[in-house]
Structure formats: C-alpha cells, structure tokens
A and B are shown apart, each in its own frame.
Chain A
Amino acid sequence: MSLLNSKNFKLLANPLNLDNPVTVQILGICSALAVTTKLKPAIVMGLSVIVVTAFSNLVISIMRNSIPPRIRIIVQLVVVASMVILVDQLLRAFVYDVSKQLSVYVGLIITNCIIMGRLEAFAMGNKPWPSFMDGIGNGIGYSIILIVVAFIRELFGSGAIMGYQVVPQSFYDAGYINNGMMIMPTMALVLVGVIIWIQRSFNKELIEKE
C-alpha cells in the first residue's frame, strides 16, 4: 500500500480540515455561494471540481519537466480549460437539467483559484501520484463545504433534501414557512462563516495570534 502511505494520505486528508480550500484558504467562495441553493447541483459541482483538480494536477505533474517555465501558466490554463470543457460536455450530454442549473459556473471552474493554486504550488514540483492525491483532497475539501451549505440551505429554504420534500405538510398547515433568506446567496456566506467559526473553535491552531 505504498500508494496510500501516511505522506500521501496526508495530502488527501489535510485539505478536508486544516488546509480546507474554502474555509481556511478562502478560495472558490464565489461558486460556493452560487450553486448551493439545492443539494443536487452542489454535489454535481463538487464532483466536477474533484475531477478537474485531480486530473489537471495529474497531467501537469506528468508534463512538469517538459513545460517551459516561460509559458507554464498558459500551459496550465490550456490543460484546465480543456478538462472543464470535457466535464461541461459530459454534463450536458448526461445530466442536462443539472448542467442548466449550474450554467456558467461549470465554465467558471477554469477560474476557480483552487485549481490554478494547486497546479502552481504542488503539481509543478511533485510526482504524478502525490499530485493526483492532492487534487482529489482539495476537490473533496471544496465539495464537503458545498454539500454542507447546500444541505442546510435546501432543508430550511425549500423544506426538501435532494428534491424530496422532508418537511411534512402538517408543519406547513401549523404555520411553518420556508425561510426565504436561505435561498439568497447572502445566507450561504453567513453559513460559510458559521462553518469557519465552528472549525476554528475545534482547531485552535487555525486562530491567528494577536
């Protein structure tokens, strides 16, 4: 199991908590606000980002010694862009309704700072397998936040989970109403803030010294 030794495992696990791209590095907030009103698009978006970060990390890492440094950013962009176009085409062919909900945000994965950040900081200087793990780790770290936020927003905003009504009709009859605020992007930001707060109260080392 040398492929999953403790060093590689760390690459996978660190971005889930202590080095989370959304809550610690504060990257990719834009799409985290936009695609989290419902759980389904959030999951698809998360998967798309995992695929793109993992495979662009892998490809760039394989090519890293033959990429001329002067045009490395362009090369990275070309790789990321073609990955994203591929993912977009696949979504359009097989999950058309979700691809419509995600609309421009799939294309905007190209500009998601997490991806370029990992390519430049990790894949350019590491072997393919660790880079691949790093990509998956960061993708999952991003997805977890998306899914948590989307779960809360869909539950309280629409009374549903994955499109299935979970708040029973009798609640509505008794005067319960869906929280319209949850549908707004503002609440996503507040939720991300709350998640950061909770995370920091559990991991004291994340708190900056005065």
Chain B
Amino acid sequence: MKNFSNTYIFTFSFIMVVVVALLLSMAAMQLKPFQDKNVEIEKKQNILASIRIKSSVTDAVEKYAKYITDSYVINNQGIKQESVDAFTIDLKAELGKPAANRLLPVFVGTLDNQTKAYVMPLRGKGLWGPIWGYISLQPDMNTVYGTVFDHQGETPGLGAEISTEWFQKPFFGKTIFKDSTEFVSIKVLKGGARKDDPHAVDAISGGTITSKSLEAMLDSCLVQYKPFFIHNRQK
C-alpha cells in the first residue's frame, strides 16, 4: 500500500470537497424550477383536497383556477391586509414572527353547488418533523367541511396515518366553537372520542404524540383566525 503524505491527504480532501460542492450546487440550481413547479402543484392539490375536490397532477392548476375563487391575507385581528398574495405566503416564516405581525392566508373555494368554503393553512411540529395541512370551514365559520393533513417523516403505520382518509373523515362536520363564542378547536382523543362529541375525534393507537401534535396544531393555527371567524360568520 502506497504511503501518502499529510499534505497530499489534505489537498486531496480539499479538492474533493470543492468539486463535490460545485457539482451538487449546480445540479440543485438547474433542477430548482422543476421542483418549485411540483411544490406549487402539490400545494394547489392540497388546497383543493381540503374542500373535498380530487385533482391530479395534470389538472390541478386548471381546477384550482376554477374552484378557488378568492384568496386574501388577514392579520390576527381579522383585518384584511392589502397587496399580499395569499398563495405565496410561507406559513413557517409567519409562525416565527410575533403574533400581531403574522400574515394569515385565507383561500375561498366556491363549490359546485355555489356554497363557499373557507380554507385555512395549518402547520405544526409532529414527532419527527413538521406536520402541516389545510382545513376548510363552511360559511358558518364553525363547521369543518374538509381537511388535509400531511407530514414529513412521521412513523409509517402510526403517526403517518394522519394523512389517510380514515383518520381525516371523522373531522368532517365537527365544530370548532362551543356556544358560538367559546373557541374550543377539535380535540384528538386517545382512547376514542364519544360519538356525539361535536368537538373531538379519535386519536391513532400507537401514534399518540403525532395525534396530540395535530391537536395542538389545529388549536394554535385556528385560534389566530378567531376574530375573523366571529366577524364573518353567516348564519
């Protein structure tokens, strides 16, 4: 086996690292536009799914234009903020700001029967990484119309089940206000929710931490919209 001097080893590693860094950053730059497009399509699919409209990669953009008829940004007092595009808002960055400065997006969907559905984005911490989603409310700003939850790396078969239909379906029709003024959000209960409980759903066995995180996400994200909900509710 050849003997290599220390200088050689250092030079070798230096050159190797520089070459690899150049190569990878170039690849990342070249592929970025494609990846961004995919992320945008996925976001549109998610927003559509939260108002219970199925879309594929190919028709998502078209359907989004058809069903999402309006979108705006509000602050935590429920006052509309002008000249900001709701779609481009990075919720992660907003949640890092003080509550009063946050920009909160609202997407308004118009369903086939002409009723409206109001979509709010959600973001929180799961067990292993971030979890996020969208929740849509009926015009009474109280009853859940649809939900979408997703995650980065929750445990497959346990926490990862939050993205499945069987977990999300029980949310439909639940209400987030008690006696129309008290905000209670929706609880995700270990051991199962009572069938007639309007503010709770079943948690996932073995996925307690993710279930609890999801509950916390719903609460912390939706409570910011409380003034907006109260102000805009239609009987």
B-binding residues in A (CB < 8 A): 34, 65-71, 74-75, 78, 82, 85-86, 89-90, 92-94, 96-97, 103-104, 184-185
Contacts and interface: CB of A to CB of B under 8 A. Distances in A.
18 contacts: A65-B2, A68-B4, A68-B9, A69-B4, A70-B4, A71-B12, A74-B13, A78-B16, A86-B24, A86-B27, A89-B28, A92-B38, A93-B31, A93-B34, A93-B35, A93-B38, A96-B42, A185-B157
Contacts, number: 55
B17 interface: yes
Contacts of B156: 34
A156 B23 CA distance: 43
A201 to B, nearest CB: 32
Given A82-B23, A89-B28, A92-B38, A71 B9 contact: yes
Contacts of B93: none
B39 to A, nearest CB: 8
A34 B157 CA distance: 11
A94 B34 contact: yes
Contacts of A78: 16-17, 20
A176 B122 CA distance: 39
A98 B204 CA distance: 25
Interface string B1-20: 11010001100110011001
A108 to B, nearest CB: 11
Interface of B: 1-2, 4, 8-9, 12-13, 16-17, 20, 23-24, 27-28, 31, 34-35, 38, 41-42, 57, 152-153, 156-157
B31 A70 contact: no
A90 B2 CA distance: 38
Contacts of A184: 157
B31 A90 contact: yes
Contact of B12 (A68, A93, A103, A185): A68
A85 B4 contact: no
B114 to A, nearest CB: 32
Contacts of B28: 89
Contact of A96 (B17, B20, B38): B38
Nearest to A90: B31
A97 B17 contact: no
A78 B15 CA distance: 12
A97 B34 contact: no
A172 B9 CA distance: 65
Contact of A71 (B1, B2, B13, B38): B13
Nearest to A65: B2
